[in-house]
Amino acid sequence: MSDSTTFTADGGYQANSHSAGGELRRSRAPRWRAHVVAAGAYVLLAIAFSWPLPAQLQTRLTGAPDSDTGVYVWNLWVFKYEVLEHRTLPYFTDRIFRASGRTNLSLHNYTAFANLIALPLVRPLGIVATFNLVYLAMTVFSAYAMFLLARRFCSGDPWISWLAGAAFGWSPVLVTRGMGHHSLAAAAPLAIFVLLLIRLHERH
């Protein structure tokens, strides 16, 4: 909508941009609303698909503790221990192979980003509940990242974009990986990388 014009007493005129500004604000509102609704729906989907895990956050895991799942829980614990209690870099620890000094974890299958997100939650919620919450958050992030990517190709239909995110976030391969290989279940960077690559290509 173009700016309105107010004529003055001396025959001049004065531009009024309030109507244009209001129209711009109104056009932005549905955009943000679509993102909030999409993310909220993914949260509900994460709860539904992982049930009854959300009701047993303190006592259950997505896989057996003596499998790879237990290793990722240990990752979270040792990350918290080194950063909050030992106040050192989390890529070295004396919690294993103590006789040989501090073990280098830089080549270990570490989940540093997820552990960083979990850091403020570990003390109030505990290791197991925090681990489960971060896992659920990662599934939501993966779905929402694909939602953003899909909007680049079907911006006229947000429902198609939302379905693409749901199909990706809870695809058989990611759900299966969530039972043990949590570093592979956190797939949001894949969609974000492609989205950034597209934007970089468009700028050049």
Dihedral angle over CA of 29, 35, 39, 45, nearest 10:
100
Percent of the chain with pLDDT over 90: 52
What are the Cα distances from residue 4, in Å, to 9, 13, 16, 128, 199?
A: 17, 10, 5, 59, 35
Q: How confident is the model at residue 66 (pLDDT cuts 50, 70, 90)?
A: confident
pLDDT in tens, 178-201: 888 888 889 999 999 999 999 998
Q: How confident is the model at residue 40 (pLDDT cuts 50, 70, 90)?
A: very high
pLDDT (average), residues 31-59: 92
Residue 2 has pLDDT above 50, yes or no: no
Residue 7 has pLDDT above 50, yes or no: no
pLDDT of residue 138: 95
| pTM score | 0.79
pLDDT of residue 11: 47
pLDDT of residue 28: 55
pLDDT of residue 158: 86
Residue by residue, DSSP assigns 140-164 as HHHHHHHHHHHHTT-TT-HHHHHHH
Determine the length of the chain.
204
pLDDT of residue 58: 92
pLDDT of residue 30: 66
pLDDT (average), residues 55-70: 90
Average per-residue pLDDT for the chain: 84
Residue ranges covered by each domain of the chain: 4-203
